[in-house]
Amino acid sequence: MSKLPEQLTFGIIIGNRGFFPSYLVGEARQQAVALFEKLNINTVMLNESQTSLGGVETRQEAKVCAALFRQHRDAIHGIVVLLPNFGDEKAIAEAIRLSGLNVPVLVQAEQDNLDKMGLATRRDSFCGKISLCNNLRQYGIPFTLTTQHVCALSGELFMQDLQRFAQLCRVVNAMRRVRVGAIGARPAGFNTVRYSEKLLEKMGIAVETLDLSEIFSRIKHLRDDDIRVAEKRDILEANADARAIPSEKLQTMAKLFVVISEWVNDNDIDTTAIQCWTSLQENLGINVCSIMSVMSGQLMPSACEVDVMGALSMYALASCSLSPASLADWNNNFGDDRDKCVLFHCGNFASASLDSPTMGTADIIGTTVGKENTCGAVHGRMKSGDLTYFRLSTDDFSGEIKAYVGEGRSVDDPLDTVGCRAVIQVPQLETLLAWICRNGFEHHVAMNHSATAAVLQEAFSNYLGVNCYHHQQRG
């Protein structure tokens, strides 16, 4: 099962500055407790017995806060700084530095009311936020801003900011500890999916490999009446209508699924990239597509053609929105409409993203290996709705990992073809395609039903050190 956390934990710092109204700190603390409970987010936060009103103003209070965060360092996914008044920018920055945490930081500042600008009620958080961000930059601590410079802690806008920040924290946390399983050799015809393990290791991403011969050997030792095989077969049949598939083919798929799943569990794998042809068709007489579809639906994405960077792209999308991601080719123009195109793959999409998914054969591959040897491909049209596309790539020439991201829509325009397919609409698509070609990106792209491009762009550019191009409609 996916190791992506369903519930997050945030460290909360409430800033204070003595010559501003201190009662605002206690007020902010009460509002914060209610807000994070409403959003089902755990918190690690100072109480009134540990520092004055539970805020951070002095060097000593910064040390107390840092010590509290260090006690919970393995649980904290992000830090939220609240400024109910100007706040002491140095103490807050030191609390984060002394904690040793390397997690995203969100900075919120409360807005002043025009009828409360006297000395007893004014906040000046507007100014304090600028000072804090200046100090965070001096300390080398990356941070995230709210939509508006100042906003009400109890307001709808800040709640939306927190929900986006939670998505960002999921991505950053996931990508800093992800383990990819590369199963089989890259198909000879797919130079496009080459990648650098060393650049990934530098980012903290591990790649574990497995040869297909080991899989074939393990399958031979599985009995037909093994309960694990029956369980996996039930899952495959529930994933897509499999009535057209011969029983013996489903049985072989189930055995392959058992072997892959146990290797994934034994090696703490988060996402996989599998050699989907032609060895599996020639040795087992099946496609692995349905197994990949199931794993992607379980938020353990699986990419075709040993596309490790594609698998990581899918994992980033899935971790951000907790919505299944799929991998496809930028495959066809859509008539003369230059803002639409066809995304296609033989049959690996997560079934939850499809209308009426069925299990069949991969007819294109079948022209070379025999259609009867390609049972297991999923067929279905992607549901209409919001769509985010994303792609990571390693560039050995520049020695960097790079990415692009953007949003569009999956639309329901008529399309007569097989496999997993989608017609998508992307503003200024021709500009994006030219950028992809000029910058040497692969023909594969990951996508899912979400609207998370801005979150992914900030997660990778601001916190993960990846240059990420955000394709947006230009005026």
DSSP for 50-70, please give it.
TSGGG-B-SHHHHHHHHHHHH
Residue 18 is predicted with a pLDDT of 77
**CA separation for the pair 102, 121 (Å, rounded):** 35
**CA separation for the pair 174, 180 (Å, rounded):** 12
**Local structure of residue 462 (DSSP, 8 states):** I
User: Quick one: average pLDDT of 119-138?
Assistant: 90
Q: Taking 90 as the threshold, does the pLDDT of residue 475 lie above it?
A: no
User: Quick one: average pLDDT of 138-153?
Assistant: 98
CA dihedral 289→295→301→302, nearest 10 degrees, is -30
| Listed residue (162, 147, 177, 202) closest to 319, CA to CA | 177
| Listed residue (475, 448, 334) closest to 382, CA to CA | 448
Percent of the chain with pLDDT over 90: 92
**Local structure of residue 294 (DSSP, 8 states):** H
User: Quick one: average pLDDT of 168-190?
Assistant: 95
Q: Taking 90 as the threshold, does the pLDDT of residue 113 lie above it?
A: no
**CA separation for the pair 459, 336 (Å, rounded):** 35
Number of helices (H), then strands (E), belonging to the chain: the values are 15, 18
Q: Give the distance, in angstroms, between the CA of residue 76 and the centroid of all CA atoms in the same chain.
A: 18
The number of beta carbons lying within 10 Å of the beta carbon of residue 2 is 17
The residue whose two tokens read 């329901």 is 412
How far is the CA of 331 from the CAs of 127, 202, 299, in angstroms?
51, 32, 25
Residue 285 is predicted with a pLDDT of 97
Relative to beta strand 337-345, strand 326-334 is: antiparallel
Predicted confidence band of residue 21 (pLDDT cuts 50, 70, 90): confident
**CA separation for the pair 329, 419 (Å, rounded):** 12
Q: What is the pLDDT of residues 349-364, one digit of tens each?
A: 999 999 999 999 998 8
Could you tell me which residues come within 8 angstroms of residue 400 by beta carbon, excluding any fewer than 6 positions away? 199, 394, 466, 467
Q: Taking 80 as the threshold, does the pLDDT of residue 143 lie above it?
A: yes
How far is the CA of 435 from the CAs of 160, 403, 406, 422, 442, in angstroms?
32, 11, 12, 22, 12
Q: What is the pLDDT of residues 390-411, one digit of tens each?
A: 999 999 999 999 999 999 999 9
Q: What is the pLDDT of residues 213-262, one digit of tens each?
A: 999 999 999 999 999 999 999 999 999 999 999 999 999 999 999 999 99
Residue 19 is predicted with a pLDDT of 74
**CA separation for the pair 401, 395 (Å, rounded):** 6
Residue 117 is predicted with a pLDDT of 62
Decide if 230 contacts 255 (C-beta within 8 A). no
Q: Taking 90 as the threshold, does the pLDDT of residue 473 lie above it?
A: no
Higher pLDDT, 174 or 112: 174
Decide if 310 contacts 180 (C-beta within 8 A). no
3 state DSSP class of 110: coil
| Residue burial 228-239, b: 16+ Cβ < 10 Å; e: rest | bbeebbebbbeb
On the 0-12 / 13-18 / 19+ scale of CB atoms within 10 A, 113 is: exposed
Residue 88 is predicted with a pLDDT of 95
**CA separation for the pair 449, 325 (Å, rounded):** 8
**CA separation for the pair 18, 35 (Å, rounded):** 25
On the 0-12 / 13-18 / 19+ scale of CB atoms within 10 A, 80 is: buried
Model confidence, pTM: 0.96
Beta bridge partners of 355: 381
Of 111-125, 186-200, 245-259, 303-317, the least confident: 111-125
The CB-side HSE value for 87 (13 A sphere, CA atoms) comes to 34
Predicted confidence band of residue 162 (pLDDT cuts 50, 70, 90): very high
Q: What is the pLDDT of residues 32-67, one digit of tens each?
A: 999 999 999 999 999 999 999 999 999 999 999 999
Relative to beta strand 385-395, strand 444-448 is: antiparallel
| Listed residue (369, 385, 388) closest to 377, CA to CA | 369
Q: Where are the beta strands (DSSP E) in 70-164?
A: 78-83, 105-109, 144-145
Which residue type sits at 140?
G
Residue 121 is predicted with a pLDDT of 65
**CA separation for the pair 446, 320 (Å, rounded):** 13
Which residue type sits at 322?
L
Predicted confidence band of residue 292 (pLDDT cuts 50, 70, 90): very high
| Listed residue (313, 356, 336, 345) closest to 448, CA to CA | 313
Q: Taking 80 as the threshold, does the pLDDT of residue 118 lie above it?
A: no
Q: Taking 90 as the threshold, does the pLDDT of residue 31 lie above it?
A: yes
Mean pLDDT of the chain: 96
